[in-house]
A and B are shown apart, each in its own frame.
Chain A
């Protein structure tokens, strides 16, 4: 793995967050994950279908902080073969990356179904599901685009998701953005919760 030269900083906290990566089969979920975790050096040339769920740990440093978030990415099989049992593998997940292929309208429609499946699979329905929507393969020539990005963006906005258009194919485009976004969302939740804990404890002085 190529390690980029980065300015060393002292990490003061490491947070951990489980994230389901979902979308229909063969739209490039695993390629996106691989390109992100290898910092752009590993794109799977030959397609291999993911079975069940593969777990990949991807560290993300939150910009302008000394906090690291380790994303436990549950790269989820998109194939219909696994759809019945798949939510069991998630085992309680409240963060997700929904991916579709801009050259196939049905994969965008499928994201809406994945969104509903994720929401219904939450053990605690009171806890919100946080997700980002990712349009992959935007490097394809415009005549092959079936999904209008503004339409996807609108659906994302209406459902409270951030939207990103990326290309996992080398050299890659904006691959990091969706991962940094979800990690930052988690970090903010943590900071909010910690502030709540501190406020709650203030009255207990002994």
Chain B
């Protein structure tokens, strides 16, 4: 299925909050899992992905290392000045194995903003971003990640708002610092 984040399909990183020339943000759109963009100290860090046109998005996938909290926001306007939250998740630390995060969504977007709110440790990478969908009004086929069903069983389903609420029971609690990581800026 067409990955709209890929550079050859018109995907473009228009903003990244940090950069090391050796690991440019374009590494996330090259289709390779072994090249990455790396955060260079402190959190949050974010980047904005621009799609070729405003499309219906049905699935967002990220491959990463050391990401602890990830939020995704969308904008369906021509100018990316207002974003709405799509989902926020906490990712388990998988050590030196890639974290694969697959989210079924039902949104329209021209821009997607990915925010790494916290890391497992000082630095984190994003190796790949993939955006699947199209303007065929949601009649997408399911393929690629075999275990993900069309009716997702993991709590972040068709409604973006539901997925968001369900995935952040810790908001507020973290302020008390009781064992939670109230880390970084």
Identify the A interface with B (CB < 8 A): 12-18, 69, 72, 91-92, 94, 123-124, 127, 186, 189-190, 193-194, 196-197, 199-206
B22 touching A12 by the CB < 8 A rule? yes
Identify the B interface with A (CB < 8 A): 18-23, 31-36, 38, 40-42, 63, 65-66, 95-98, 121-123, 125, 127, 177, 180-185
Query: Which chain A residue shows the least CB distance to B40?
Result: A15
Interface centre among A13, A69, A72, A205 (most CB of B within 10 A): A13
Q: Within 8 Å CB of A194, what residues of B?
A: 20, 22-23, 38, 123
Contact A16 to B40, CB < 8 A, known contacts A201-B35, A206-B32: yes
* Measured CA separation A102–B117 after assembly (Å): 41
17 new A-B pairs (CB below 8 Å) besides A194-B20, A206-B32? A14-B19, A16-B41, A72-B185, A91-B183, A91-B185, A92-B183, A123-B181, A196-B96, A197-B66, A197-B125, A199-B96, A201-B34, A201-B98, A201-B125, A203-B34, A205-B33, A206-B34
Query: Which chain B residue shows the least CB distance to A200?
Result: B96
What are the 10 closest A-B residue pairs judged by CB atoms, nearest first? A200-B96, A13-B20, A204-B33, A92-B183, A16-B41, A12-B21, A201-B34, A15-B40, A16-B42, A15-B41
Q: List 18 A-B contacts (CB under 8 A).
A: A12-B20, A12-B21, A14-B18, A14-B19, A15-B40, A15-B41, A91-B182, A124-B181, A124-B183, A186-B41, A190-B40, A193-B121, A193-B123, A194-B23, A194-B123, A200-B98, A203-B34, A206-B34
Q: Within 8 Å CB of B66, what residues of A?
A: 197
Q: Within 8 Å CB of B177, what residues of A?
A: 123
Q: Within 8 Å CB of A13, what residues of B?
A: 19-22, 40
Q: Within 8 Å CB of A127, what residues of B?
A: 121-122
Shortest distance in angstroms between A68's beta carbon and chain B's nearest beta carbon?
10
A206 touching B123 by the CB < 8 A rule? no
Shortest distance in angstroms between A14's beta carbon and chain B's nearest beta carbon?
6
* Measured CA separation A92–B41 after assembly (Å): 13
B184 touching A91 by the CB < 8 A rule? yes
B122 touching A16 by the CB < 8 A rule? no
* Measured CA separation A80–B121 after assembly (Å): 32
Q: Within 8 Å CB of B185, what residues of A?
A: 18, 72, 91
Shortest distance in angstroms between A70's beta carbon and chain B's nearest beta carbon?
8
* Measured CA separation A41–B134 after assembly (Å): 59
Query: Which chain B residue shows the least CB distance to A206?
Result: B33
Contact of B182 among A12, A123, A190 (CB under 8 A): A123
* Measured CA separation A69–B122 after assembly (Å): 14
Shortest distance in angstroms between B85's beta carbon and chain A's nearest beta carbon?
23
